[in-house]
């Protein structure tokens, strides 16, 4: 049982390049989340999903897109990376409506030059 995994662990992009971050969970959780962590700002919610085929915007969705085609996977896309998107990205999942505990992945460190 791997829990929540994130791919890649680290990536360097040039401004304007695109990439996709993959989050996978093997716990059959319904809800999945993408956060970004920046110094002094804590965690901020980018997008989330309450089930397969659904997505919704969080606090800071601009410049990102997401997809949840399979229940176990939640993809975060950057179409045209900007230096302001340099951050550590965390994925999390939780079982369902009545379960409040989120399980976090190890993070992806992204540097945009």
Partner 1 sequence: AQSVAQPEDQVNVAEGNPLTVKCTYSVSGNPYLFWYVQYPNRGLQFLLKYITGDNLVKGSYGFEAEFNKSQTSFHLKKPSALVSDSALYFCAVRDSGTYKYIFGTGTRLKVLA
Which residues form the interface with partner 1 (CB under 8 A)? 4, 31, 33, 35, 40-45, 48, 50, 58-59, 90, 92, 97, 100-107
Rounded least distance, CB 84 to partner 1, Å: 18
Rounded least distance, CB 67 to partner 1, Å: 18
- Sort residue 28 into left (φ over 0), alpha (ψ -120 to 50) or beta: left
CA atoms of 43 and 37, how far apart (whole Å)? 5
Q: Is 113 helix (H, G, I), strand (E, B) or coil?
A: coil
| Cβ proximity to partner 1, 15 vs 99, nearer residue | 99
Non-local (6+) Cβ contacts of 16 within 8 A are 80, 81
| Cβ proximity to partner 1, 48 vs 74, nearer residue | 48
| Cβ proximity to partner 1, 41 vs 79, nearer residue | 41
């Amino acid at each position: 049982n791997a829990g929540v995994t994130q791919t890649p662990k680290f990536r360097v992009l040039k401004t304007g390049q695109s990439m996709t971050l993959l989050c996978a969970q093997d716990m059959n959780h319904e809800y999945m989340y993408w956060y970004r962590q920046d110094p002094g700002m804590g965690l901020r919610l980018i997008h989330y999903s309450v089930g397969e085929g659904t997505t919704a915007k969080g606090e800071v969705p601009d410049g990102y897109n997401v997809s949840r085609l399979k229940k176990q996977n939640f993809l975060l896309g950057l179409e045209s990376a900007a230096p302001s998107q340099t951050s550590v990205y965390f994925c999390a999942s939780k079982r369902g409506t009545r379960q409040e505990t989120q399980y976090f992945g190890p993070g992806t460190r992204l540097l945009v030059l």
